Amino acid sequence: MDDPSRSERPDLLLAVDLAPSALDQLGALCTLHQAVTPEARVALAERIGGRIRAIVTNGTTAIPASLIAALPNLGIICAQGAGYEGVDCEAARARGIVITHGPGVNADCVADHALALLLAALRDVPRFDAAVRAGQWREGGTARPSAYGKRVGILGLGGIGRRIAKRCAGFDMEIRYHNRRAVPDMAWAYMPSVEELCAWADFLFVALPGGAATRHSVGRAALAALGPEGFLVNVGRGTVVDTAALVDALSTGGLAGAALDVIEGEPDVPAALRELPNVVLTPHIAGRSPEAMAAAIEQVLGNLTAFFAGKPVLSPIPAPT
């Protein structure tokens, strides 16, 4: 993607794949150098590391301290979407590098997908679809639970969690949530622990960010509390749920079903998880819609434009607590 006119535009390392329209928009502002694997990024840094002034990435792609150190003129890292756990923020801050993210740009899309996942798992839509395509009609079919009036636990009441809750309210579901701390002036009841939330709920939506602080927040105790009639939906990060514990619960009747858009260790999905009939899987696409992707790249462009103009960026990541 090198361009003869690159001297007029700052050089940008693109660590992820983007749609052609997004590439065109970024290319109008910067000279793009795409490297979507760790090995490609290392090779690029060795070749032209001194020219790179910006990185565009996503929440899960690793931008380690070693890569940051190999880019002496790096000034800004832009993560699409709300997450940024793949970025070594401590190393970036030590250099005075600006880090931005995209809170809220795909929240409605993720919430829509979360409800679609719940309904697909709850009503066993994938299995019934496959049966009809195979020429069957109610052969061996069983009655499936409904969503109306159930109790919903939201783990992580941020922008996505709140939108999930509002959609669940349309099904006349009762809603409670758990965060690190209670949200002031919130209509929904706060539960002091994940296990207590699971013991109360019929369905648990996971909308937590990734990282060490949230790893395996949903483990064996939480899944046991959710129980044999419970359903789990994860649209946060795969690392939040203990996959081994989830497979055990699903395969032994300890949990009725699960629906996952994010999976620990993705894109590698454990065979034990793929083979279970009571789990619905999608490939981390909850936040991908034309509207959400357009909003995400627009925010990235806004942050880059502001930075290169010497102005405050639009969406810096929160200061560490």
d(CA 188, CA 28): 45
Q: Which two tokens stand for residue 6?
A: 């690159």
Catalytic, out of 6, 151, 216, 266: 266
Q: Which two tokens stand for residue 255?
A: 């949990």
In the residue annotation, 298 being an active-site residue is answered as: no
What size, in residues, is the chain? 321
* DSSP states of 69-90: HT-TT--EEEESSS--TTB-HH
Q: Which two tokens stand for residue 55?
A: 């990185």
In the residue annotation, 237 being an active-site residue is answered as: yes
Handedness of CA 205, 210, 212, 215 (dihedral sign): positive
SS3 206: strand
Edge-to-edge, what's the strand order for the sheet holding 98-100? Answer: 31-34, 11-14, 52-57, 76-79, 98-100
Amino acid code (one letter) for 132: V
Nearest to residue 194, comparing CAs of 211, 209, 176, 212? 176
Question: Do residues 207 and 155 touch, judged by C-beta distance below 8 A?
Answer: yes
Catalytic, out of 237, 264, 274, 291: 237
Q: Which two tokens stand for residue 125?
A: 């839509």
Scanning 70-124, the segments in alpha helix (DSSP H) are 89-94, 107-122
> Which residue(s) pair with 258 in the sheet?
232, 279
Catalytic, out of 216, 220, 284, 288: 284
What are the backbone angles phi and psi of residue 49, rounded to the nearest 5°? -55, -35
In the residue annotation, 101 being an active-site residue is answered as: no
What are the backbone angles phi and psi of residue 25, rounded to the nearest 5°? -65, -45
Which positions are annotated as active-site residues?
237, 266, 284
